[in-house]
Amino acid sequence: MVTQREFARFKRNGGPMTSEAPAGGLCLSCFVIISKKGRPSQVLMGKLNVEANWDHLGALDAERASKFSGGWMLPSSHLMLQETPGLAAERILAEQLGLTYQKLEGPVVFSEVYGANNHWDVSFIYTGELEGEVAPHPAWKELRFVDLGRIGQEDIARSHEDILAQVGKWPPP
């Protein structure tokens, strides 16, 4: 008997047990959630600086960067081709936060399919704690620890509350 299942195994020219990429696309993304040491409800988030090169930093074209610039976002990026999730987390720390070393745990892996074209997101979420404050960074017009108990879902850009929920930080207690 030959199975009728379609496994998530993709190959350019097809072949046994392979599929086409979903019509709505497939994104592999990495998120870094850094809490203030001893204060788990305070999470490092930023508001995008639209003058920064976000297509290079996080795979956001100028239109999308502008659209999301008013809300709080987690440091994040799509993975680059051939990049591991761990290396993507290190790149995010360096390029978006200016951190050369930060202990991280994870990843927690989260996947969802949505939309009429079945867009598929696979997210790798790393967490850590930081003592003290973080220096300003040119990628962000504002970068700071945000108290999740003092903001609403409408203050968060790109549905990043869904990512926070995957590690138990949203909704806040």
Q: How many domains does the chain have?
A: 1
- Dist. CA 150–CA 125, nearest whole Å: 23
What is the pLDDT at residue 8? 80
Q: Is residue 19 part of a domain?
A: no
> Residue ranges of the chain with pLDDT lower than 50?
none
What are the backbone angles phi and psi of residue 59, rounded to the nearest 5°? Answer: 65, 35
Sign of the alpha-carbon torsion through 140, 39, 32, 116: negative
Reported pTM: 0.94
Q: Is residue 16 part of a domain?
A: no
Please report, for the domain that includes residue 110, its CATH number: 3.90.79.10
Q: Is residue 135 part of a domain?
A: yes
For residue 45, the 8-state DSSP code is E
CA-based radius of gyration for the chain? 17
What is the pLDDT at residue 9? 77
Q: Is residue 5 part of a domain?
A: no
What is the pLDDT at residue 77? 97
Average pLDDT, the chain: 93
What are the backbone angles phi and psi of residue 113, rounded to the nearest 5°? Answer: -120, 130
- The residue segments making up the domain with residue 148 are 32-166
